[in-house]
Chain A
């Protein structure tokens, strides 16, 4: 009996391993509203990437004799707009616009904001003061107005809208990242790395940044909705996506003129915006709980 089965004790002493992915999935899909959000997001992504598969008609093809059809008439499920374009198809192709602007503008604002916040939080001192004062000043403006002004000066169009929203919405990332980075740099692993002679760049990007990422991913998911909302807002004002490219915001604006006779034209695209933004927020909520339950209530 003196011989102990070492494999067995080893197994006992090692911490109980939970399949990380299973735990994540269990928490994430634990709430019905998150499942709903995730479903809407998947449908939105599919429609945005392959609009041609879903759309029953050409979204740009006008058909003046059949303008302003009520929903259901002549095979147009949601009716037609002022120049006879199929509303459902425009809605589906509009999701591609929203997705494109959302992804590009979000990546841009998150990258710029994260870099600024990382630099400020990691170096601290005067660097932090300078960067964060600028961020404070930027945050005195409503992000949407900043984006509106930049878009107005650059001129309307897909690329300019992406740039405008990307720059307009970067400040919150900088603020969150700065807080994360300035607490992360106090960790022992940073000290250990520095005593090994690692450069600032290496510590920042190999150690501090990865440890700050989970909350940033959550914020990004939630901001995807806000970014889409911003694009819709700019298109509604008329400094966003230029016609005839279908964009939900400009569809709401165009439909507004026919609110009395054709409420669908304006109300349906707006509902689509709300649904998608809501879905991204719910997925963000679910991710937050699944990635780091301590963040509940913080972001």
Chain B
């Protein structure tokens, strides 16, 4: 088990190193002057050529690209994400303010997706062909095709504007005002949760159908075991393996969705930070947000792999 964990962590570090390279290259190899990562267009225009050259030298932008990359990764490792060219504040400050908000809503969406998606998938598989199965399959298909920003607007229209039941924008910390925070979180969390719910439903359903055909399930039935026990102990427990291994994908879906949901609901989280940075061409912030999101995704993937290596010996030694 120890070697397995060490191997997994090493391979994650390799992937993370490649992630830094992608984030670096993404912004650097694209058309435009890399000095714009550190200065706005107006700044560059207001400076003389000599001044720009001086800044370029100070920032090390006249060095080979490999040297620049190593310096940048070194700074990242020390937690230095650079400076936002628009606000002239450290990017780390933004991340510290914004990340907890996205993590709060995202983790709630993650839990909701597990609590709805997996039971719904099980019910659909057990009652195959029935109306519940039809319903779950339809929601499973629609959930991955619905544009989340549109769903958000639709729900704002129904529950916010027509019925007036829920606030339509903003974010409040649950430590400040719990009930306001909860009511503001309902719609965004639901919108964030829909794609992972749909994915969990589909995966659980198909995996459950597969498992319920196995011999050991038939044996359990023929022993006269109660239905709930067969389904949960023998069916679900085995059917969950592919579902859990795909939970990293849920995090990716939630991060992808947060960009739209936080924009529509005016929530000051990471997604909105990215949109603001993209609109104002604040590349340093863009790099930082992408990097932080990728770290979280790979850490979650690592935890999933380790927990399954622990639960299922076939994975550990396979």
Chain A residues with a Cβ under 8 A of chain B: 133-134, 136-146, 148-150, 152-154, 225, 229, 232-233, 236-239, 249, 252-253, 256, 259-260, 263, 266-267, 270-271, 273-274, 277-278, 281-282, 296-297
Pairwise interchain contact B255-A270, C-beta atoms closer than 8 A: no
Contact of A136 among B15, B149, B260, B283 (CB under 8 A): B15
B130 is an interface residue with CB less than 8 A from chain A = no
Report A280 CB to chain B, min CB distance, Å: 8
How many pairs of A and B residues are in contact by the CB < 8 Å rule?
Answer: 139
Contact of B259 among A133, A237, A274, A278 (CB under 8 A): A237
In whole angstroms, how far apart are the Cα atoms of A145 and B254 in the complex? 11
Pairwise interchain contact B150-A271, C-beta atoms closer than 8 A: yes
Report A287 CB to chain B, min CB distance, Å: 15
B297 is an interface residue with CB less than 8 A from chain A = yes
Q: Which residues of A sit under 8 angstroms from B297, Cβ to Cβ? A: 140-141
Contact of A233 among B26, B144, B149, B207 (CB under 8 A): B149
Quick one: which of B137-174 are within 8 Å of A by CB? 141-142, 144-147, 149-150, 153-154, 156-157, 161
Count of B interface residues, CB-CB < 8 Å? 51
Q: Which residues of B sit under 8 angstroms from A133, Cβ to Cβ? A: 11, 14-15, 18
In whole angstroms, how far apart are the Cα atoms of A273 and B281 in the complex? 28
Report A35 CB to chain B, min CB distance, Å: 15
In whole angstroms, how far apart are the Cα atoms of A233 and B150 in the complex? 10
In whole angstroms, how far apart are the Cα atoms of A136 and B11 in the complex? 10
Given A153-B26, A270-B150, A239 contacting B293 (CB threshold 8 A): no
B9 is an interface residue with CB less than 8 A from chain A = no
Q: List the 4 shortest-distance A-B pairs measured between CB atoms, nearest first.
A: A270-B150, A142-B256, A137-B18, A152-B278
B263 is an interface residue with CB less than 8 A from chain A = yes
Quick one: which of B1-50 are within 8 Å of A by CB? 11, 14-16, 18-19, 21-22, 26-27, 30-32
In whole angstroms, how far apart are the Cα atoms of A266 and B149 in the complex? 10
Q: Which residues of A sit under 8 angstroms from B142, Cβ to Cβ? A: 274, 278
Quick one: which of B193-232 are within 8 Å of A by CB? 206-207, 209-210
Q: Which residues of B sit under 8 angstroms from A138, Cβ to Cβ? A: 22
Pairwise interchain contact A270-B206, C-beta atoms closer than 8 A: no
Q: Which residues of A sit under 8 angstroms from B85, Cβ to Cβ? A: none
Q: Which residues of A sit under 8 angstroms from B19, Cβ to Cβ? A: 137, 140-141
Interface centre among A233, A239, A249, A282 (most CB of B within 10 A): A233
Pairwise interchain contact B293-A232, C-beta atoms closer than 8 A: no
Q: Which residue of B lies closest to A237 (CB)?
A: B275
Q: Which residues of A sit under 8 angstroms from B14, Cβ to Cβ? A: 133
